[in-house]
Structure 1
Amino acid sequence: MAGMMRGPLLDTVRNKTVATKLFSLSGLFAVHKPKGPTSADVLNHLQAKLLEEAGLPKPRRKTKNHILKIGHGGILDSAATGVLVVGIGKGTKMLSGMLAGSKYTTIGQLGKATDTFDSSGKVTEERPYHQITKEDLENVLQKFTGSIMQVPPIYSALKKDGQRLSTLVKRGEVVEAKPARPVIVYSLSLRKFKPPLFTLDVECGGGFYVRSLVNDIGRELSSCASVQELTRTKQGPFTLEEHALYEDKWTIDEIAQSLKHCMLLLSVEPSRKKLKTELSEEHTVSCEDK
């Protein structure tokens, strides 16, 4: 009888040890968000994997009393990929203050506009683009660098009466665009120009929409444009190449190691970002859907 009890008993002790380690995790780390799922989907999947590893039940979807405290530092569109910064434990309180700047690489397509400003939407307009040169595009980019005013897209996470604009639009309700608001672009450069496609590198402050940028660039060129691909390559101090954990590394031990590295990184980040944030203190807002 003692031999029969040994296996289940050991499993129970092991699960308690793993669960204790899971709930001791605290801080910020980064994961890779793939194309397809929403940012919330990624968090739910991450949480489920960690709870399963610790031998704990998955939380019921609609309950707010999650047994594992977890959050992210800025929504990425379901069609976008890249760095998604995650806060776990007390790290959830650090998300808004640490992540005011991001870098993106985006591929835009000239001559085609959509209702969502990206490839996931319905085509609303097609216009000629063959007359646009590389020099034309580079000259236009200068107008979108620095402190600028930007109208957010209707398909976004911004809310009206407590509901996301994108949700209201999908229901068929008439939704007006939010008024233009101040945002900041630290740098904007053309990496590749092969009409109708062009590739941009963007470094911006919080609340900035790359989809709106590409749409506005198309208008400024007397044509139209939409985002074909969007990748967040950096958020705060976390880069896609160095810090983002892919799904095969979404384990308690891997995250514990990542937290140690990332929290050391954060300790030197504020001084490095100081000059940039001072440029636009009045423009700093929480990260939004890009």
Structure 2
Amino acid sequence: LNQSSGAMNDNVPFFPLCPLKKKGVYHPSTHSLDPSLPPNSVYSRDEVAHFKSPRYVLRLRVRWTHAHSDPGSSSHLCYRNSMDNMLQFMKLVGQLKRVPRTGWVYRKVKQPESVSDHMYRMAMMALTLQDPSVNRERCMKLALVHDLAECIVGDIAPADNISKAEKHRREKEAMVRITGLLTEDLRKELYQLWEEYENQSTHEAKVVKELDQLEMILQAHEYEQLERNPGRLQEFFDSTEGRFYHPEVVALVKSLNEERARHMTKTASEKTAELNCHTTMTDSS
């Protein structure tokens, strides 16, 4: 980054990293920019911290070339450079499909959702908002951008013991680099959307924050259903209690809690019946 002009320097190598697994333990602290690692290398399944499916991650080496960076370049070269950078941007976005949500990894959820999964449902939640005082389009954009930095820094969870200030610093650096691949208008728009969400500076940003929390507890409920282990992820519900204010979100949370309570009662009854059946069969034998 050119400190005087605030513009990205050309031909600066960029190495987005994935967290590594050390002796089977997930270490989010390894998220960093380390130019000592070889470019264009492919990490095997065992080397990638939390991939639960046989996927591979390409370590990208991006060169910062902007269409406006060289006044003397031909229009064809400018367009090619612009498209090259857009392609690299899309590859970074694609990394989000392979970055699992750390909270589920720590709690040993099988095949945990990705950051991309999380943001997609948030965007759908934003799309279905009916409040006329809320700009739905802006909410959708905020939902799609708010975790974009995690394609580089990973999903930093509270359990990682990384301060909010340090988390913000890492994500800000990542956003500068990611948006540096885009044209000036897009770069400004995406970075400002991320900043708006981080600062919670608008009504829409606050609503999307509630959608973020709602999506998390909805996912927790789904995992409890899949595992037939109701209540196992109660801490996620406890952490969001009293943090919902928008009427539509509050109504959805109420409906979710009611469904979860019914599921807990039903599962408890089924397990009791299974236990009684097993006891009866044991006694008869």
TM-score, normalised relative to structure 1 = 0.23
- Which structure shows the higher strand fraction? 1
- Which structure shows the higher helix fraction? 2
